[in-house]
Amino acid sequence: MITVYPYETLGAANHGWLQARHHFSFANYYNPERMHFGVLRVVNDDRIQAGSGFGAHPHRNMEIITYVRQGAITHQDNLGNRGRTAAGDVQVMSAGRGIQHAEYNLETEETTLYQIWIEPNTTNVEPRWETRTFPANPVWDALPALASGYSEDIHQGALMIYQSAVIRGGRLAKGTHIEQPLRHPAYVLVSEGAIQLDTHPLKKGDGAEVRATNTLSLTATTDAEVLVIEVPDR
């Protein structure tokens, strides 16, 4: 079963320096029918103006994954971590028992990114942060794991998260068809271009819930970039 959520129907917020679309209830956007998807609690599609960003603020017991689509984001936290994550790369912060961090767009261009929050299966862990560069070459057979709670994915280069979940992603050349095996229900995001998800067309910015299947069938109708977030139900 597939349910598509077009970009135009998502929650919206305009803070001047930040324009956001919310796939699930967040901050001042509240939709009782869009509170979460399994343990996936937040997907924000953010556009951050150059020279601006999120000042220091706390988090606790949440896996926060950031996928940068354009530009870069610079992270700094109270543990002494500091780093820059550029377009196509991913950062993971396990908030655990508590962390304070800030994120700024220190570039001369707008930064666009997905901010993804996943509820952990282990709480009050030691807070941690890491970032990783992933290959930019198009994918032809299967989407690589970018962040995962499974040891086999971590051993192959995925960033570790505290949940039995997987975030996969990659660029697809026009006409590429993928049959992606699934462990769990999946939330699909189209970062760039357009795809056909089974019989459903999706364009840039759209999201889709996929349930009751163990295989994800997608075809790039243009050059495209996609993320697939596999998460267990609560």
The pLDDT, as a whole number, for residue 4 is 98
The pLDDT, as a whole number, for residue 123 is 97
How far apart (Å, rounded) are the C-alpha atoms in residues 64 and 59? 9
The pLDDT, as a whole number, for residue 234 is 84
Q: How many CB atoms lie within 10 A of CB 46?
A: 21
How far apart (Å, rounded) are the C-alpha atoms in residues 106 and 104? 6
How far apart (Å, rounded) are the C-alpha atoms in residues 103 and 137? 27
Give burial (CB, 10 Å; 0-12/13-18/19+) of 87: middle
Report yes or no on whether pTM surpasses 0.85: yes
Asked if residues 77 and 100 have their Cβ atoms less than 8 Å apart, the reply is yes
pLDDT, averaged per 10 consecutive residues of the chain (234 residues), comes to 97 96 96 96 98 95 97 96 96 97 97 98 97 90 95 97 97 96 97 97 98 95 98 93
Domains and CATH numbers, the chain: 2-230 (2.60.120.10)
The pLDDT, as a whole number, for residue 136 is 85
